[in-house]
Structure 1
């Protein structure tokens, strides 16, 4: 059983989606995250355990490698695709409540900004680490973040921006969110953002990479 979960983690780490996938070359012809997750369910391994001991360790390894510049965006995207293939088997169990989630994370690129690669990477990494992710897309106004957060009382909001010109909107959104609910946690990220800016606008966390967001959420969930 442990061996099967470790194989799933390895598929996630190296981006092996399914048996037909040619990537990575040294795993060609082998079962991928898709088939192995199905096998794990058929063997009676609990969906929560597959997530906790299969998908999450794989995504964590990729996140750490990405932080250390040992892998780059294409590799992370392959890992995310492998994770998505596995999650298709698990999502029905989460929908029925048969498998628990660690929390809810609402993410979007702020008003005026249409960039989404960084946001998507964070969303994939967070989902792979056991959270429900509500992705609001790009060019998201404060009202949409607030309205969505009110549907999920203990959710955390993540704001992304790639342009220096849209950083001001990030400040506006944090202010609006905190005025509505001072206890709502907001984390920020993106190329022009840093810790000083985070402190200045009253956000709760700044992270330069997706793994940092996961670690912040884990401190709140523990």
Structure 2
């Protein structure tokens, strides 16, 4: 049986080579070996996907490459998701989170992982999808406790400012919390735009939101 390091390396390679079958194999081997699925996602798939995002921004990869990498990651995560959900406990809803990938950004994997983890943790999720218009976040805020936006690129990250500003204009900012995340996003950026929470990854999102509602 492959070691944990070998399986995580296979997961990264699957994304780098846009290989759906390899991603599924890495996920299946991880489950067979008793490796934490979240660890495989964050140390394997996500690391390689973030690298692909950086190469895309640098002009070293093009949109079809990014989509192919996302599809490979989705294939792997689909194998892991049942195990992740089975490990969760069904509880009463802690709160409602509306989340999506920001307008102009087709990346949805990170957002999908956060959504899955938050569901397991007991949150009700309104998944807005990817390439989400700012107006859609504002509309969703009317029925949510938290509005969360993910951005893969610095060019789309700047639109997270618009969520903050338009929530204020709509008179909704004081009634919801905002959370931002994504590869180029940092705590400094969250502080700069006035977001309530910066989530480095899915586990971080769960910990910080649970603390918020404690």
So what's the TM-score if we normalise by structure 1?
0.60
RMSD of aligned residue pairs (Cα, Å): 3.1
For 2:66, the equivalent position in structure 1 comes to none
Which of 93, 117, 124 is the matching residue for 1:101? Answer: 93
Equivalent residue number for residue 205 of structure 2: 213
Identify the structure with the greater strand proportion: 2
Q: In structure 1, what is the equivalent of residue 81 of structure 2?
A: 80
Whether 1:182 and 2:189 are equivalent positions in the alignment is no
Separation in structure 1 between the aligned mates of residue 199 and residue 86 of structure 2, nearest angstrom? 27
How far 1:82 sits from its partner (Å)?
2.8
Match of 2:162 among 172, 178, 190: 172
The worse-fitting range, judged by mean Cα deviation, of 128-137 and 178-187 is 178-187
Structure 2 residue corresponding to 1:115, chosen from 107, 130, 134: 107
Q: Which of the numbers 165, 186, 190 marks the counterpart of 1:194?
A: 186
Mapped to 2, the partners of 1:105 and 1:66 lie a distance apart of: 25
> Alignment partner of 1:102: what SS?
coil
Hey, what does 2:122 align to over in structure 1?
130
Who is 2:5 aligned against? none
The aligned counterpart of 1:161 is 151
CA distance in 1, matches of 2:189, 2:173: 19
Q: Is the 8 Å Cα contact of residues 77 and 121 (structure 1) preserved in structure 2?
A: no
Larger radius of gyration: 1
Partners of 1:174 and 1:202 within 8 A in 2: yes
Output the CA distance in 2 between the equivalents of 1:140 and 1:171.
Answer: 14
The 3-state SS of whatever aligns with 1:115 is coil
Is the 8 Å Cα contact of residues 106 and 145 (structure 1) preserved in structure 2?
A: yes
Instruction: Supply the distance in 2 between the matched residues of 1:26 and 1:114 (Cα, whole angstroms).
Output: 33
* Correspondent of 1:25 among 17, 24, 32: 32
State the distance in 2 between where 1:129 and 1:136 align: 19
Distance 1:163 1:220, change over 3 A: same
Equivalent pairs counted in the alignment come to 157
TM-score by length of 2: 0.63
Aligned-residue offset at 1:83: 4.2
Residues 129, 175 of structure 1: alpha-carbon distance in 2 compared, 3 angstrom cutoff: same
Q: Deviations over 1:79-112 (max 9, x none)?
A: 423345789xx7xxxxxxxx62111111001111
Q: Distance in 1 between matches of 2:185 and 2:141?
A: 23
Where does the alignment leave 5 or more consecutive residues of structure 1 unmatched? 1-21, 28-60, 91-98
Identify if the C-alpha distance between structure 1 residues 26 and 218 changes in structure 2 by more than 3 Å, giving closer, same or farther. closer
Distance 1:136 1:109 in 2: 8
Take 1:68 and 1:82, find their aligned partners in 2: how far apart are those partners? 15
Mapped partners of 1:111, 1:191: distance in 2: 15
